Amino acid sequence: MYKLYCRSFQSMMRIASGVLPWREPELLEGENSLSRLPMFIKNKNIESVLIITDRGISSIGLMDSLLDGLSSEGINFVIYDKTVPNPTIENIEEAYKLFKFNQCQAMIAFGGGSPIDCAKGVGARAARPNKSIPQMKGVLKVRKKIPPIVAIPTTAGTGSEATLAAVVTNNQTHEKYAIMDTSLIPRYAVHDPLLTTNLPKPITAAVGMDTLTHAVEAYIGRSNTKKTTECSKEAVKLVFENLYEAYSNGRNIEARTNMQRAAYLAGIAFTRAYVGNVHAIAHTLGGFYSIPHGLANAVILPYVLEYYDKSVYKPLAELADLIGISEHGDSIEQRAKKFINAIKQLNEQTGIPKKLDGIIDDDIPLMVDRALKEANPLYPVPKILSKDDMQSLYHVIKA
């Protein structure tokens, strides 16, 4: 009966999503595209911006050229650089106060998924000043236009510049959850591969596998459209063709450009087709132990796909064909298992561990409850998992 309820809910959501105001950000793309942003912003009649980033980025001077350009164009700016991985409600509230106090008209989110999610949270607060972040948890709780966001990803993983979700952590409860509303999709985005060339190898690997997880979970889910299917497939192909090269040769601009595109396409795919149980589990690990989201996804993905068993053989076999690892005469099951093995090999090639350290047995029951609450009934997963299923998965991924 519960599974029927979940499937009915998912069917209704799929129908409803067809009338939502989906959009994609206006893009500035290519090498040195960041240098064009100040004039671009000025032409939008924006005179004051809040820049949301983190201490790592502000300390290495990655934004210096942007700040010089904004000053040259006469655009006022204030910087919030306290964003942490898995951004917190406190981050959002601090940045929101700066946004209001300085009467900013727009935000520039500069960094990985965390600054972009923080900016979306600020946008939600600006649109709904009488609602707290916890009150906007879930789907379509904002429903008002937010101040424009310019997303400048410096990693190639989250695809947050294309998504409707802001993932937030509550430090008090260790809960990590999403606010999802089409109004949160950034208005503009900059894809400058030069911003990603100095990414350390472990981050390149983790965010690249994050992209793959987005694309695969969207593809195997039950709420695909023609557009999301095409975006997922192209993203999967780009990851398998470019991630190891970007990892081993970070200065390869073509590989970095292709990984940015893969992340963006996967973002478009999963913001419409949703993610699944991999993300539900990963969010709990981020909330409890601050495990980086991409790393958690990378480790969890093959285990969940194996657990899904026959329910994902067909779509995974199609992806195996797509990346050219099938052989004539292979069965659907053989092709699917080859694809899962290809994920494991890519993880190994890029230094991703097979298990995750630090998971405490006593925490697992609460994490199971939260993961199930996130996944069901919303995520149109191939197989709806029970409490026992979830417990088994946590123990499998635990080192």
Instruction: Clarify whether residues 279 and 336 are in a common domain.
Output: yes
Q: What is the mean pLDDT of each successive set of 10 residues along the chain, which is 399 residues long?
A: 93 91 95 97 97 94 96 98 94 98 98 96 98 95 97 95 94 90 97 96 97 98 96 98 98 97 98 96 95 96 98 98 96 98 98 97 97 96 96 96
Q: Give the pLDDT score at 1.
A: 85
What is the maximal distance between C-alpha atoms in the chain?
66
Q: Give the pLDDT score at 270.
A: 96
> Could you tell me the two tokens for 313?
């053989």
Structurally, the chain folds into a number of domains equal to: 2
Instruction: Clarify whether residues 185 and 292 are in a common domain.
Output: no
> Could you tell me the two tokens for 187?
């208005």
Instruction: Clarify whether residues 261 and 124 are in a common domain.
Output: no
Domain end: 157, 177, 196, which one? 196
Domain end: 162, 196, 230, which one? 196
> What's the one-letter identity of residue 305?
L
Is the Cβ–Cβ distance between 110 and 311 less than 8 Å? Answer: no
Instruction: Clarify whether residues 225 and 184 are in a common domain.
Output: no
What are the distances in angstroms from CA 249 to CA 71, 152, 204, 255? 34, 22, 11, 9
Nearest-angstrom CA–CA distance, 147 and 95:
14
> What's the one-letter identity of residue 362?
D
Nearest-angstrom CA–CA distance, 265 and 257:
12
Nearest-angstrom CA–CA distance, 115 and 121:
10
| 35 in any annotated domain | yes
Number of CB atoms found within 10 A of residue 327's CB: 9
Is the Cβ–Cβ distance between 153 and 137 less than 8 Å? Answer: no
Instruction: Clarify whether residues 189 and 281 are in a common domain.
Output: no
Classify each residue of 237-269 as buried b or exposed e, where b means 16 or more C-beta atoms within 10 Å of its C-beta.
bbbbebbbebbeebebeebbbbbbbbbbbbbbb
Please list the residues that pair with 191 across neighbouring strands. 29
| 6 in any annotated domain | no
Instruction: Clarify whether residues 218 and 265 are in a common domain.
Output: yes
Instruction: Clarify whether residues 258 and 173 are in a common domain.
Output: no
pTM of the model: 0.95
| 3 in any annotated domain | no
> What's the one-letter identity of residue 240?
F
Nearest-angstrom CA–CA distance, 347 and 285:
19
Reported for 316-324, long-range contacts at CB under 8 A and 24+ positions apart, including other chains, are 316/220, 316/340, 319/216, 319/219, 319/233, 319/236, 322/233, 322/236, 322/237, 323/236, 323/237, 323/240
Domain span including residue 272: 201-397
CATH of the domain at 280: 1.20.1090.10
Instruction: Clarify whether residues 192 and 205 are in a common domain.
Output: no
Instruction: Clarify whether residues 237 and 190 are in a common domain.
Output: no
| 324 in any annotated domain | yes
Rounding to the nearest 10 degrees, give the CA dihedral for residues 252, 253, 255, 257.
160
What are the distances in angstroms from CA 209 to CA 204, 244, 273? 9, 11, 18
Backbone phi and psi for residue 107, each to the nearest 5 degrees, phi listed first: -125, 145
